[in-house]
Each structure stands twice: as C-alpha cells, then as structure tokens.
Amino acid sequence: MTNAKKITLKIIIIGEPAVGKTSLVKKFITGKFSKDYRSSIGTNIYTKKVVLEDNKIVTLQLWDIAGQERWINMRHSYYSGAKGVIIVGDLNRKNTFDQIEKFWVQDINNYCSHVPIILLANKKDLLNKIEEQEIISLGKRIKTDLILFTSAKTGDNVELAFLKLSKQAILQD
C-alpha cells in the first residue's frame, strides 16, 4: 500500500532561440527522451518523474519548442493546460531578456495567465554581460515567482529550477 499521489504537470519552456532551452531540459532529464509525438506543432515533449516532499510522485511533461521559436504553430496547443512556465534568457545576450518582456510575456498573458513562472538567466558559466540587478528588476516587472541563474553546461541550479517550479505549480493547481 502506498499513499503516494500521482500527478502529471505540463511545464512549458519558452524564450528566444539558442538561449539554452533544450540544453536545460536535456540536462535535467539526463537521457530520458520520450519520442516526439507532436512534431506537427513543432514541439518535443519529454517526461520525467520526480518525487517531491510528502511522497508526491509527479510526472513532469516538459514541452520544448523545436525550432522556429517565435512562430510556433498552434500556439494555443503549446500553452494550453500548462501548469508552469520556464522562461529562459541568455546572460550573454541582453536582447534575449528584452524579448522576454516584449514578446514572451504577452504570450503567457494571452494563453496561460495565472500559472507560476520561473525566470532562468542561463549560461552563467560564461562571461556575463548583464547586471544581476537588471534581471531581478525584469523578474519583478513580469511577476515571476522565482529567478535562478543557471548553467546547462555545468548543471548549476538546473534541477533546483525544475523542482521549485513543480512545487509551485502543485500549490497553485
């Protein structure tokens, strides 16, 4: 007998091309890759089971845009039912953070408002060109639940990011 509760959470990952979205997901998944069954909407879907506190087994369904970031077909399907959003910027390209505010947040507002958002400032292993304070201000303006500085290369804060968002998503679900 087990009193574990089974929950599936759809988490979407968004952000400009080459910020490290796929690398972050792959680092977290470490090899587990469920076959792409939604290639028609330009998406790869990965799953990973995690066990949170109080024995909750959560299956994370991670949706990663496969190319053509800004022009994903059927945007509605991509965002629909998402319980959490990971927005990624590249610490070496300021523009990728500007676009978060200009473009990606509008999408969230249009398609899946009121879900927890985590902002990842990725590639922290490289020479960073953006002040930490700028990222924190952006996070406040777009009302993120958490900001983390990550590296998909070293793995720094990657697992933490997915676990924190999962917890928040369950609380708000």
CB of 108 to Mg ion, least distance (A): 18
- How far apart (Å, rounded) are the C-alpha atoms in residues 118 and 158? 12
Question: Would you count residue 89 as binding ligand G3D (CB under 6 A)?
Answer: no
What number of residues does the chain have?
173
Of residues 6-45, which lie at the interface with Mg ion (CB under 5 A)?
Answer: 21-22
Question: Would you count residue 168 as binding ligand G3D (CB under 6 A)?
Answer: no
CB of 19 to ligand G3D, least distance (A): 4
Q: What region, left, alpha or beta, does residue 81 occupy, with left being phi > 0 and alpha being psi -120 to 50 degrees?
A: left
Residue 45 burial (CB count, 10 A): 19
Contact 159, 50 (CB under 8 A): no
Question: Would you count residue 95 as binding ligand G3D (CB under 6 A)?
Answer: no
Question: Would you count residue 70 as binding ligand G3D (CB under 6 A)?
Answer: no
- How far apart (Å, rounded) are the C-alpha atoms in residues 147 and 85? 12
Q: Where on the chain is the footprint of Mg ion (CB under 5 A)?
A: 21-22
Q: Where on the chain is the footprint of ligand G3D (CB under 6 A)?
A: 17-23, 122-123, 125-126, 151-153
